[in-house]
Amino acid sequence: MSESLITYLALILVVAGACSLLFKWLKQPVVLAYIVAGIVISFFISKESPEYEAVETWAEIGIIFLLFGLGLEFSFKKLMKVGATAFISTIFVVVSMIGLGYLTGLCFGWSHLTSLFLGAMLSMSSTMIIIKVFDDLHLKKKNFAGIVLGMLIIEDLVAVLLMVLLSTIGVSKQFQGTEMLISLFKLVTFLLFWFLLGTFLIPTFLRKAKRFLNDETLLIISLAFCLGMVYLATFAGFSAALGAFIMGSILSETLDGERIDKMIHPIKNFFGAIFFVSVGMMIQVTSLGQYILPILIISAVVILGQMIFATIGVLLAGQNLRTSVSAGFSLTQIGEFSYIIAGLGISLGVIEASLYQIIVSASVVTIFVTPYMMKFSEPASRFLERVLPERWLTFLNKTSGAQTVNQKSLCRSFWQKIIVNTMIFYILCIIIVIFSFRYGVPVLQEWLPGWKGNWLSAIVILSLIAPFIHMIIVKSDHSNEFLELWRKNKTYRGPLIFTIVIRILLCCGLIMYVLLKLFHANMVVEFTLALILVVFFLTSRRLRHQTDKLQRRFTENMNEKEQFEESQKPITKGFTNHLLERDLHLSEFWINPNFTIVGKTLKEIKFRQAFGVDIVTIVRGDTRINIPNGDERIYPNDCLIVFGTDKQVVALEQTIEEKRQKYADYKNATIGEIVLRQIEIEDGYSLIDKTIRTSGLQEKYSLLIVGIERNNCSLQNPDIDLILEQGDVLWIVGEMRSINNLKNEII
């Protein structure tokens, strides 16, 4: 290994460690410490020097593991569950901020391409900073926090899409709609193919190899998966960061996802620190003075833009004014993905290094401001409620409520499901066909030249796509929605038959493409043969059995983590959703043994009267007491599942935290080291002529006499009625503080 790699890694870690200690003491986010460390290192290593290549190498590795770690915290299933509120809000915010950033760039006289990159950077908020501030301010249990975290999940995926699209624009140096659509299709295809294939294969592999997977082996295999996907992504023309993010997302859906995340967490922190240090090294302090105006303007644009657009976006999604303002004030910072997008722009040569400095500097400003913005959200919402007309407040605070699945029409649900299923499986068939003609068919034709190779190629390709063709046509027609619509009203039967015909024609078209490419026969003959093959695929029992087996395994792998987590929860998901629709929230509270409520009944504690919350479940070891009655007692280490509004839950949480802190202070204050010491009773000591019982050593001082030396004899475990005499040497066990108190008082 190059000596410079180790030398400059050591320098990075020493400076980053020192800065992180300083910023921890200042109670500031550690990300800022790493950026400052990079600024300090830039005085010793300039980006023009050859040594900077060593830092870039570590930074590239850092991006891979940083995105892999973010992928482990991300989940495509979470993306589908965050709901319309987070989705609508995020799309509105991202589009608005890109437009605002683009206009800001044009006002500075920057090019259209640079302004577009600026807009993309300003549209990303910081997941790491928001989660850290939520923890510090105890906001994670509030309703708006769930919305913000859902928006951040969608932002992560949008950021990945933007990286690909901006790469395409950056290479061509112009806006080409067709090329962008092709790139977007390639990206969606790549994501879909590897997500489905990974979900089908990886959980099965981990489940079968479980008995061999200790922490060390699982870590090595996880990193192998990550770097393997990085290679595949770069081979397909995408970035290494995208591959790492995809594999992290796939592994996050497995039962071992949290275990992998915990093992990867230190690695992600290590390489993430190196990446953020490299970000700081791009800042040239000596030239910041000339950029102070753009830094301040862009900081103001981010803070005001995110505050306004996020608030409006959450309002448009149906939330009330207070929740919307709190969410909007939480997103007022420039995020980690912005650094990656900025680095992408520099590597493509479409933005100047000065813009990188401006963005990072503005990021530092907005991160410093974030905690204060979150604290200011409550007064701001009260101010708006005070100054806005009553008619506006009534309109803004109306509970639009998230629509449940039961409110959707059966027909709409069927069309939604059939379109999604058809698109997913049809795209998979297209991918298989493309890969087969690019890599498989040339090999088979070289092995078997002429018509034999073509026939073998056709058989292999059609065998691979047959299960998915079966799923496209048959599975949707056997769904509950299809059958109920068919029986419910005869007027639905025509459209239902039409959907079957369309899907059959789509499948015939794909088969015709394969046959025409291999045999160049007549169109009518090819269509007839394709139709015969589709009918065969639909009626084959063996194929149906294989299809059922594939779908069952995929469904099990897809849902195994969710089912396992659901089985461990005291509250069912349906009940949780039922509460959320009514703006009630579940929270868990653990009871320390020293709490004053231990041993009392629920009637005596009066949770509802004191806090307005209700006890839903008491988890006691492996026992769950659902909807406990008033005579149920609270025992040490119980877990109380309660529900109520934000205000009620926070009030209870504050009381619990106060009791927990008092208990912690009590433990810290009373814990002392037990020692064995000798005390000789001299003339004038108050212990003379007292028995061990009446001396008060145990009751008053919490000390124990374990032996007495008298007249060259040793008495072990002396009788408590033994009279103490002058000259006795007492062997005493207890805390040193108590022994010193005894010595001071018996003289």
- pLDDT, residue 399, reads 45
3-state secondary structure 305-329: HHHHHHHHHHHHCCCCHHHHHHHHH
- pLDDT, residue 257, reads 81
Confidence of residue 492 (pLDDT cuts 50, 70, 90): low
Whether 642 shows a pLDDT value over 50: the answer reads yes
Do 95 and 124 contact (CB within 8 A), yes or no? no
Q: Using one digit for the tens of pLDDT, what is the confidence trace for 309-338?
A: 988 888 887 778 888 888 888 888 887 778
- pLDDT, residue 739, reads 81
Q: Tell me which residue has tokens 């088969």.
A: 511
- pLDDT, residue 479, reads 58
Q: Using one digit for the tens of pLDDT, what is the confidence trace for 124-171?
A: 887 767 776 776 666 766 767 778 877 887 787 788 778 777 777 766
- pLDDT, residue 130, reads 79
Cβ neighbours around 468 below 10 Å, total? 21
Chain centre distance of CA 407:
30
* The 614-620 sheet, strands edge to edge: 585-590, 639-644, 614-620, 623-626
Whether 478 shows a pLDDT value over 60: the answer reads no
3-state secondary structure 538-558: HHCHHHHHHHHHHHHHHHHHH
Q: Mapping DSSP to helix (H, G, I), strand (E, B) and coil, where does residue 337 land?
A: helix
Whether 580 shows a pLDDT value over 50: the answer reads no
Residue 254 tokens read as 């497995």
- Average pLDDT score, the chain: 77
Residues in Cβ contact with 200 at an 8 Å cutoff, skipping those fewer than 6 apart: 550, 553, 554, 557
Residue 709 tokens read as 């030396």
Q: Using one digit for the tens of pLDDT, what is the confidence trace for 546-578?
A: 777 777 777 776 666 666 655 555 455 544 444
C-alpha–C-alpha distance, residues 262 and 643, integer Å? 29
Mean pLDDT comparison of 151-160, 166-175, 427-436, 600-609, highest-scoring range: 427-436
Q: Mapping DSSP to helix (H, G, I), strand (E, B) and coil, where does residue 688 land?
A: coil
Cβ neighbourhood burial of 538 (10 Å; 0-12, 13-18, 19+): middle
Confidence of residue 658 (pLDDT cuts 50, 70, 90): low
C-alpha–C-alpha distance, residues 418 and 416, integer Å? 6
C-alpha–C-alpha distance, residues 120 and 47, integer Å? 25
Buried b (16+ CB within 10 A) or exposed e, 108-138: eebeebbbbbbbbbbbbbbbbbbbbbbeeee
Mean pLDDT comparison of 121-125, 129-133, 702-706, highest-scoring range: 121-125
The Cα-based distances of 73 to 13, 79, 306 in angstroms read: 25, 12, 24
Whether 645 shows a pLDDT value over 80: the answer reads no
Cβ neighbours around 490 below 10 Å, total? 8
C-alpha–C-alpha distance, residues 246 and 55, integer Å? 25
228-233, long-range: CB < 8 A, 24+ apart:
229/194, 230/64, 232/194, 233/190
Which domains occur in the chain, in start order?
64-273+290-351 (1.20.1530.20), 407-563 (no CATH), 573-670 (3.30.70.1450), 674-746 (3.30.70.1450)
Do 634 and 659 contact (CB within 8 A), yes or no? no
The arithmetic mean of pLDDT across residues 469-488, rounded, is 67
The Cα-based distances of 640 to 338, 543, 587, 627, 693 in angstroms read: 41, 51, 8, 11, 44
Q: Using one digit for the tens of pLDDT, what is the confidence trace for 29-40?
A: 777 788 888 888
Whether 634 shows a pLDDT value over 50: the answer reads yes
Confidence of residue 103 (pLDDT cuts 50, 70, 90): very high
Q: Using one digit for the tens of pLDDT, what is the confidence trace for 201-255?
A: 888 888 888 888 888 888 899 899 989 888 888 887 777 777 888 888 888 878 7
Cβ neighbours around 577 below 10 Å, total? 13
Mean pLDDT comparison of 29-43, 73-87, 400-414, 470-484, highest-scoring range: 29-43
Q: Tell me which residue has tokens 């026939």.
A: 455
Q: Tell me which residue has tokens 């493309």.
A: 434
Whether 302 shows a pLDDT value over 70: the answer reads yes
Q: Mapping DSSP to helix (H, G, I), strand (E, B) and coil, where does residue 446 land?
A: helix
- pLDDT, residue 403, reads 39
- pLDDT, residue 663, reads 52
C-alpha–C-alpha distance, residues 6 and 3, integer Å? 5
The arithmetic mean of pLDDT across residues 461-477, rounded, is 77
C-alpha–C-alpha distance, residues 274 and 55, integer Å? 8
Do 361 and 298 contact (CB within 8 A), yes or no? no
